[in-house]
Structure formats: structure tokens, C-alpha cells
Amino acid sequence: MNADFKYLKESFPLSFNKTIVEHQAVNKVIAFCDDKTQYLLFTGMFYEVNGGKGITDDLEVYFVNYLAEQLKATAFARASAYVMEDQTKFVGYDVKSVEGDIWSQQNIFEANEEGRVTSVKDEFTNSSDKNSICPLVSRYFEKIDFPEDTLEFLKNLHAQVTPSLVQLKRG
């Protein structure tokens, strides 16, 4: 298990739970990590930079793999909201290393009548070191030989989102 994976596994859910409560919403975020910096990419911005389409599954996989290479990331984390059949709401956290280590956990959250998040439990209810919650995670860190036009699109997209890419220095 690499140090960046361990860092994200231990710190990302706790810090992002605080962000969720502060903003009263679960916004899908992808975090990339190297030994000095954690980068946060909030996917809500894709409606603006992708012609109002948001981020499709294929675009997410392509862009994560592209950014992982560009940022020299060795681990990533992904957080998104889910609702089970019984209406239990949880934040699904997936963490993956370039070596293939996986950690997933579910943190239950509560929302009021307007749908605003009022609390997130820091203790996770379910976890796994074998299966990710989001099936896209299995395709992260794949080596993809992008066609030239796709590579150009990803470069342009990277330039557009760079101002919104949150960088957190690790202590």
C-alpha cells in the first residue's frame, strides 16, 4: 500500500464529510494525490466546460486517467451521493492506488425536507478492500492510448478546469 493511498483513505472521507455539512450538499468530487499535494476536482463544473452535458462515464474515465498522468498522481479518491432502495442516503467513498489497492466505504447522511444535508456520520457503515462502490473506479489508472483528437480535447479540458482545480498542500 503506497503512502498516498493510505493518506487519502485516512483523511479524505473525514475532511470531505466536513465540506458536505458546510455546503449542505454532496457534490461529486475526484481527488488526486502525490507525495506533496492533494488535488480536488468538483465535477459540477463540467456542465459549463462540456457544452452543458456534464461529465459522462467515459469522459470521467478518460479525464481521470489523463489527469493522473499529467499530475503524476499515485492515488485517487472519489466521493458521490447514493440512495438505497429503503431511501437510506450515503456518501460512497472509493480510494484506489496506481498499484491497484482499493478501499471503499459508505458514510450515512441525513437531509432535511429541502434536500439539504444536515449531518454525515464519520463512522462508516460498510467498507471493502476488494470492491469499489462506483464501477468506473475499476477503469481508473488504465493506460489508454488516446487518439489525437481525444488527446487534444482532454488538453483543452484540462486548461479550462485548471483554475477550478483545488490544490491542498500535504503536511
Query: For position 142, what pLDDT does the model report?
Result: 86
Task: State pLDDT tens for residues 133-151.
Answer: 989 898 888 889 999 999 9
Measured CA distances, 74 to 60, 64, 81, 159 (Å): 17, 12, 24, 21
Averaged pLDDT for residues 24-45:
89
Averaged pLDDT for residues 43-59:
77
Measured CA distances, 52 to 5, 64, 104 (Å): 33, 19, 30
Averaged pLDDT for residues 78-88:
92
Total-model pTM: 0.89
Which residue would you say has higher pLDDT here, 53 or 167? 167
Phi-psi domain of 123 (left: phi exceeds 0; alpha: psi -120 through 50; beta: other): beta
Which structural domain, as residue segments, surrounds residue 8? 3-169
Query: For position 49, what pLDDT does the model report?
Result: 67
Mean pLDDT score of the chain: 90
- What is the domain count for the chain? 1
